[in-house]
C-alpha cells in the first residue's frame, strides 16, 4: 500500500478537516431536525387549542344542562291582606304581605311593592316598584290622603330567577 502522506503533520491536518466537516454535517442535520420538529409543533398548537376549547365548551354545556335540570321552575307566591278595605281619606290601612317560595330561596334584592290607582300589572322589573321588601312576612302601614281606588302591587322573586307580580283587591278611599 502506498503512503500518500509525506509526514504526520499532513495526516493530522486531513484528520482535523474531516472531523470538522463531520461535526458541521451532524450539527446541520440536528439543526434541520430541530427546525422541523418546531415547525410541526407550531402547526399542531392551533389544533390542540381547538380540541381543548371544544372539550371545555362541552364541559360547560354539560354543567349548564345540570344546573338547568336542578333549577326551580316554580314561581314564588305572595299573599296580600289589607285591613280595612275601605277607609276615609287621611286614614291608614295595614297591609300584610306574605311571600313564599317552594325552596325557601327568595331573592330579597328583587322583592318590592308599590301602590297606585291602576289594577293593570306593572311587570317584573324591580325598578318599577317604590319600596323593597326584606322579609318573608311584611306589615306595612299606608296613609291615603286622596279619594280613589288603589291597588298594592307586590313583586316576588326567587334565586332561580322566577318572578311574579301579585295585585291586591281594591282599596277604596272616600272623602267621608
What CATH number is associated with residue 123? 2.60.40.1930
Q: How far apart are CA 103 and CA 68, in angstroms?
A: 15
Residues 166 and 84 in one domain: yes
Residues 64 and 118 in one domain: no
Residues 15 and 84 in one domain: no
The residue out of 23, 41, 70 marking a domain boundary is 70
Number of domains, the chain = 2
pLDDT of amino acid 7 = 58
The residue out of 70, 89, 109 marking a domain boundary is 70
pLDDT at 8 over 80: no
Q: pLDDT (tens digit, 9 = 90+) per residue, 15-74?
A: 888 888 888 888 888 877 777 777 777 777 777 777 778 877 877 777 777 776 667 788
pTM, two decimals, is: 0.62
Residues 66 and 128 in one domain: no
Residues 59 and 116 in one domain: no
Residues 83 and 51 in one domain: no
The residue out of 39, 70, 101 marking a domain boundary is 70
Residues 54 and 29 in one domain: yes
Residues 82 and 164 in one domain: yes
Cα dist from 25 to 14, 19, 21, 35, whole Å: 16, 10, 6, 15
CB neighbour list of residue 109: distance below 8 Å, 6 or more residues apart: 126, 132
pLDDT of amino acid 6 = 57
The answer to whether 164 and 113 are in contact (CB under 8 A) is: no
Residue range of the domain that includes 109? 77-174
Tell me the DSSP string of the chain.
-----SSHHHHHHHHHHHHHHHHHHHHHHHHHHHHHHHHHHHHHHHHHHHHHHHHHHHHHHHHHHHHHHHS--SPPEEEEEEESSEEETT-EEEEEEEEE-TTS-B-GGG-EEEEES--S---S-GGG-SEE--SSEEEEEEE--S-EEEEEEEEEEBTTS-EEEEEPPPEEEE--
pLDDT of amino acid 1 = 47
Average pLDDT over residues 120-127: 95
Residues 168 and 150 in one domain: yes
pLDDT of amino acid 54 = 80
Q: How far apart are CA 155 and CA 112, in angstroms?
A: 5
pLDDT of amino acid 9 = 62
pLDDT of amino acid 10 = 64
Residues 129 and 161 in one domain: yes
Residues 90 and 125 in one domain: yes
Residues 90 and 170 in one domain: yes
Average pLDDT over residues 127-135: 95
pLDDT at 109 over 90: yes
Amino acid at each position: 500500500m502506498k503512503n500518500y502522506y509525506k509526514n504526520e503533520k499532513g495526516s493530522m491536518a486531513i484528520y482535523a478537516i474531516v472531523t470538522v466537516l463531520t461535526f458541521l454535517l451532524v450539527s446541520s442535520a440536528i439543526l434541520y431536525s430541530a427546525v422541523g420538529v418546531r415547525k410541526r409543533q407550531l402547526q399542531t398548537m392551533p389544533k390542540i387549542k381547538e380540541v381543548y376549547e371544544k372539550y371545555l365548551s362541552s364541559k360547560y354545556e354539560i354543567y349548564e344542562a345540570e344546573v338547568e335540570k336542578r333549577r326551580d321552575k316554580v314561581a314564588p307566591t305572595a299573599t296580600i291582606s289589607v285591613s280595612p278595605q275601605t277607609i276615609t281619606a287621611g286614614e291608614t290601612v295595614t297591609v300584610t304581605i306574605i311571600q313564599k317560595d317552594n325552596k325557601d330561596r327568595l331573592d330579597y334584592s328583587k322583592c318590592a311593592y308599590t301602590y297606585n290607582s291602576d289594577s293593570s300589572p306593572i311587570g317584573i322589573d324591580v325598578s318599577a316598584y317604590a319600596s323593597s321588601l326584606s322579609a318573608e312576612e311584611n306589615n306595612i302601614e299606608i296613609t291615603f290622603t286622596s279619594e280613589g281606588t288603589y291597588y298594592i302591587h307586590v313583586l316576588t322573586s326567587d334565586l332561580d330567577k322566577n318572578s311574579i307580580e301579585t295585585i291586591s283587591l281594591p282599596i277604596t278611599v272616600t272623602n267621608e
